[in-house]
Chains A and B, each alone.
Chain A
Protein backbone atom coordinates (compact mmCIF):
# COMPACT_ATOMS: atom_id res chain seq x y z
CA UNK A 1 0.00 0.00 0.00
CA UNK A 2 1.18 3.47 -0.86
CA UNK A 3 1.91 5.53 2.15
CA UNK A 4 2.04 9.33 2.21
CA UNK A 5 3.09 10.57 5.62
CA UNK A 6 2.73 14.11 6.86
CA UNK A 7 4.92 14.82 9.84
CA UNK A 8 2.32 16.58 11.99
CA UNK A 9 -1.45 16.23 12.39
CA UNK A 10 -1.80 19.49 14.31
CA UNK A 11 0.44 22.54 14.50
CA UNK A 12 0.01 25.83 16.31
CA UNK A 13 2.36 28.63 15.32
CA UNK A 14 2.64 32.34 15.97
CA UNK A 15 2.37 35.08 13.38
CA UNK A 16 5.73 35.73 11.75
CA UNK A 17 7.21 32.32 12.50
CA UNK A 18 8.83 30.26 9.76
CA UNK A 19 6.90 27.01 9.43
CA UNK A 20 7.94 23.75 7.80
CA UNK A 21 5.42 21.11 6.77
CA UNK A 22 7.00 17.82 5.77
CA UNK A 23 5.65 15.09 3.52
CA UNK A 24 7.21 11.74 2.69
CA UNK A 25 6.01 9.09 0.24
CA UNK A 26 7.27 5.55 -0.07
CA UNK A 27 6.31 4.62 -3.64
CA UNK A 28 9.04 6.32 -5.66
CA UNK A 29 6.43 8.66 -7.15
CA UNK A 30 7.54 11.37 -9.54
CA UNK A 31 4.81 13.86 -8.63
CA UNK A 32 4.15 15.44 -5.27
CA UNK A 33 1.58 18.12 -4.44
CA UNK A 34 0.67 20.51 -1.67
CA UNK A 35 -2.96 21.61 -1.30
CA UNK A 36 -4.79 23.66 1.26
CA UNK A 37 -8.41 23.03 2.06
CA UNK A 38 -10.76 25.64 3.48
CA UNK A 39 -14.53 25.45 4.06
CA UNK A 40 -16.42 26.58 1.00
CA UNK A 41 -13.26 26.88 -1.11
CA UNK A 42 -12.44 23.23 -1.70
CA UNK A 43 -8.92 22.04 -2.40
CA UNK A 44 -6.56 24.62 -3.84
CA UNK A 45 -3.16 23.73 -5.26
CA UNK A 46 -0.25 25.61 -3.70
CA UNK A 47 2.75 23.99 -5.41
CA UNK A 48 3.64 20.75 -7.10
CA UNK A 49 6.83 19.00 -8.07
CA UNK A 50 7.33 16.53 -10.90
CA UNK A 51 10.92 15.63 -10.11
CA UNK A 52 13.71 16.24 -7.63
CA UNK A 53 14.56 19.94 -7.38
CA UNK A 54 11.74 20.77 -9.80
CA UNK A 55 8.74 22.81 -8.70
CA UNK A 56 5.79 24.53 -10.27
CA UNK A 57 3.46 27.13 -8.81
CA UNK A 58 -0.11 26.16 -8.35
CA UNK A 59 -3.11 28.42 -7.98
CA UNK A 60 -2.18 30.08 -4.67
CA UNK A 61 1.62 30.10 -4.20
CA UNK A 62 1.87 33.50 -2.52
CA UNK A 63 3.37 33.30 0.94
CA UNK A 64 4.66 29.77 0.41
CA UNK A 65 7.75 28.07 -0.93
CA UNK A 66 8.69 24.42 -1.36
CA UNK A 67 11.72 22.19 -1.37
CA UNK A 68 12.29 18.81 -2.95
CA UNK A 69 15.86 17.71 -2.39
CA UNK A 70 15.04 13.99 -2.42
CA UNK A 71 12.43 12.17 -4.47
CA UNK A 72 10.51 10.91 -1.47
CA UNK A 73 10.28 14.18 0.44
CA UNK A 74 8.40 17.39 -0.38
CA UNK A 75 8.44 20.24 2.10
CA UNK A 76 6.12 23.23 2.26
CA UNK A 77 7.55 26.34 3.86
CA UNK A 78 5.65 29.31 5.20
CA UNK A 79 8.33 31.99 5.27
CA UNK A 80 6.45 34.22 7.70
CA UNK A 81 3.23 32.68 8.92
CA UNK A 82 0.10 34.81 8.90
CA UNK A 83 -3.35 34.20 10.35
CA UNK A 84 -4.86 33.79 6.88
CA UNK A 85 -2.68 30.72 6.44
CA UNK A 86 -4.64 28.91 9.13
CA UNK A 87 -5.95 25.92 7.20
CA UNK A 88 -5.83 22.19 6.57
CA UNK A 89 -2.81 21.30 4.46
CA UNK A 90 -2.85 18.14 2.39
CA UNK A 91 0.08 16.48 0.68
CA UNK A 92 -0.40 14.06 -2.22
CA UNK A 93 1.75 12.00 -4.54
CA UNK A 94 1.31 10.14 -7.78
CA UNK A 95 3.26 8.46 -10.53
CA UNK A 96 3.15 9.77 -14.08
CA UNK A 97 -0.32 11.31 -14.59
CA UNK A 98 -0.69 10.24 -18.23
CA UNK A 99 0.02 6.65 -17.21
CA UNK A 100 -3.15 6.60 -15.10
CA UNK A 101 -1.29 6.57 -11.84
CA UNK A 102 -3.71 7.18 -8.95
CA UNK A 103 -3.34 10.06 -6.54
CA UNK A 104 -2.63 9.28 -2.87
CA UNK A 105 -3.07 11.67 0.04
CA UNK A 106 -1.58 12.00 3.47
CA UNK A 107 -3.71 12.48 6.58
CA UNK A 108 -3.38 16.23 6.53
CA UNK A 109 -1.90 18.85 8.85
CA UNK A 110 -4.24 21.23 10.61
CA UNK A 111 -2.25 24.45 11.01
CA UNK A 112 -3.40 27.24 13.29
CA UNK A 113 -1.56 30.57 13.18
CA UNK A 114 -2.28 32.84 16.14
Chain B
Protein backbone atom coordinates (compact mmCIF):
# COMPACT_ATOMS: atom_id res chain seq x y z
CA UNK B 1 0.00 0.00 0.00
CA UNK B 2 1.34 3.43 -0.94
CA UNK B 3 2.22 5.75 1.88
CA UNK B 4 2.84 9.48 1.81
CA UNK B 5 4.45 11.12 4.83
CA UNK B 6 4.80 14.80 5.58
CA UNK B 7 7.28 15.96 8.16
CA UNK B 8 7.06 18.05 10.25
CA UNK B 9 3.38 17.90 11.17
CA UNK B 10 3.54 21.49 12.37
CA UNK B 11 5.95 24.34 11.84
CA UNK B 12 6.14 27.86 13.26
CA UNK B 13 8.51 30.43 11.73
CA UNK B 14 9.01 34.20 11.90
CA UNK B 15 7.92 36.29 8.96
CA UNK B 16 10.50 36.61 6.19
CA UNK B 17 12.10 33.22 6.70
CA UNK B 18 12.63 30.84 3.81
CA UNK B 19 11.27 27.39 4.57
CA UNK B 20 11.02 23.88 3.19
CA UNK B 21 8.14 21.45 3.60
CA UNK B 22 8.82 17.78 2.98
CA UNK B 23 6.76 15.03 1.40
CA UNK B 24 7.99 11.42 1.17
CA UNK B 25 6.33 8.68 -0.86
CA UNK B 26 6.90 4.96 -1.23
CA UNK B 27 5.60 4.31 -4.76
CA UNK B 28 8.31 4.77 -7.36
CA UNK B 29 5.75 4.45 -10.18
CA UNK B 30 4.59 7.98 -9.57
CA UNK B 31 2.84 9.96 -12.33
CA UNK B 32 2.86 13.29 -10.56
CA UNK B 33 2.80 14.95 -7.19
CA UNK B 34 0.50 17.84 -6.38
CA UNK B 35 0.81 20.34 -3.55
CA UNK B 36 -2.26 21.94 -1.97
CA UNK B 37 -2.94 24.62 0.57
CA UNK B 38 -5.89 24.42 2.97
CA UNK B 39 -7.11 27.29 5.11
CA UNK B 40 -9.15 26.42 8.22
CA UNK B 41 -12.66 25.27 7.37
CA UNK B 42 -12.06 25.56 3.64
CA UNK B 43 -11.41 23.26 0.71
CA UNK B 44 -8.01 22.50 -0.81
CA UNK B 45 -6.44 24.97 -3.23
CA UNK B 46 -3.99 23.60 -5.77
CA UNK B 47 -0.55 25.23 -5.65
CA UNK B 48 1.69 23.22 -7.94
CA UNK B 49 1.67 19.96 -9.84
CA UNK B 50 4.99 18.40 -10.73
CA UNK B 51 5.08 15.56 -13.23
CA UNK B 52 7.36 12.55 -12.86
CA UNK B 53 9.41 13.73 -15.85
CA UNK B 54 10.04 17.12 -14.22
CA UNK B 55 12.45 18.03 -11.46
CA UNK B 56 10.81 21.23 -10.32
CA UNK B 57 7.97 23.69 -10.80
CA UNK B 58 7.77 27.32 -9.73
CA UNK B 59 4.93 29.70 -9.03
CA UNK B 60 5.77 33.06 -7.50
CA UNK B 61 7.46 32.47 -4.14
CA UNK B 62 6.78 28.74 -4.30
CA UNK B 63 9.06 26.12 -5.75
CA UNK B 64 8.31 22.39 -5.73
CA UNK B 65 10.91 19.75 -6.49
CA UNK B 66 10.58 16.05 -7.14
CA UNK B 67 13.18 13.32 -6.72
CA UNK B 68 11.70 9.98 -7.76
CA UNK B 69 14.80 7.99 -6.87
CA UNK B 70 14.71 9.07 -3.24
CA UNK B 71 10.90 9.23 -3.03
CA UNK B 72 10.88 12.86 -1.96
CA UNK B 73 9.24 16.12 -2.90
CA UNK B 74 9.88 19.46 -1.27
CA UNK B 75 7.89 22.68 -1.31
CA UNK B 76 10.10 25.72 -0.83
CA UNK B 77 8.45 28.96 0.29
CA UNK B 78 10.60 32.05 -0.05
CA UNK B 79 10.25 35.10 2.18
CA UNK B 80 7.34 33.70 4.15
CA UNK B 81 4.42 35.97 5.09
CA UNK B 82 1.66 35.66 7.71
CA UNK B 83 -0.77 35.05 4.85
CA UNK B 84 1.10 31.82 4.09
CA UNK B 85 -0.21 30.37 7.36
CA UNK B 86 -2.25 27.29 6.40
CA UNK B 87 -2.01 23.54 6.17
CA UNK B 88 -0.05 22.24 3.21
CA UNK B 89 -0.80 18.81 1.78
CA UNK B 90 0.86 16.76 -0.90
CA UNK B 91 -0.84 14.04 -2.92
CA UNK B 92 0.83 11.37 -4.98
CA UNK B 93 -0.81 10.27 -8.23
CA UNK B 94 0.22 6.71 -9.09
CA UNK B 95 -1.94 6.63 -12.23
CA UNK B 96 -4.75 4.61 -10.71
CA UNK B 97 -4.67 5.84 -7.15
CA UNK B 98 -4.26 9.06 -5.21
CA UNK B 99 -2.54 9.02 -1.83
CA UNK B 100 -2.57 12.02 0.48
CA UNK B 101 -0.02 13.00 3.07
CA UNK B 102 -1.17 14.02 6.52
CA UNK B 103 -0.24 17.66 5.98
CA UNK B 104 2.06 20.23 7.56
CA UNK B 105 0.40 22.99 9.56
CA UNK B 106 2.40 26.18 8.99
CA UNK B 107 2.22 29.27 11.17
CA UNK B 108 4.12 32.37 10.04
CA UNK B 109 4.38 34.89 12.87
CA UNK B 110 4.52 38.64 12.16
Of B28-36, B63-71, B78-86, the one contacting chain A is B28-36
Nearest opposing residue in chain B for A45, CB measure: B98
Using a Cβ–Cβ cut-off of 8 Å, how many residues does chain B contribute to the interface with A?
22
In the complex the two chains form, is B43's CB within 8 Å of A106's CB? Answer: yes
Interface of B is mostly: strand
Considering the complex, which residues of chain B in the window 1-48 have a beta carbon less than 8 Å from any beta carbon of chain A?
A: 31-32, 34, 36, 41-46
Residues of chain B lying within 8 A (CB to CB) of residue A4: 43
In the complex the two chains form, is B96's CB within 8 Å of A98's CB? Answer: yes
Bound CA–CA A6/B41 (angstroms): 14
Considering the complex, which residues of chain A in the window 1-51 have a beta carbon less than 8 Å from any beta carbon of chain B?
A: 4, 6, 33, 42-43, 45
Considering the complex, which residues of chain A in the window 62-114 have a beta carbon less than 8 Å from any beta carbon of chain B?
A: 88, 90, 92, 97-98, 100, 102-108, 110
Question: Which of A98, A102, A107 meets B46, CB within 8 Å?
Answer: A102
In the complex the two chains form, is B31's CB within 8 Å of A42's CB? Answer: no
Report the contact-size class of chain A (Cβ under 8 Å from the partner): 20 to 34
Interface of A is mostly: strand
Bound CA–CA A105/B89 (angstroms): 13
User: Which 5 residue pairs across A and B have the least CB separation, nearest first?
Assistant: A98-B95, A105-B44, A107-B43, A105-B43, A108-B43
Q: Which B residues have a C-beta under 8 Å from some C-beta of A?
A: 31-32, 34, 36, 41-46, 49, 51, 89, 91, 93, 95-96, 98, 100-103
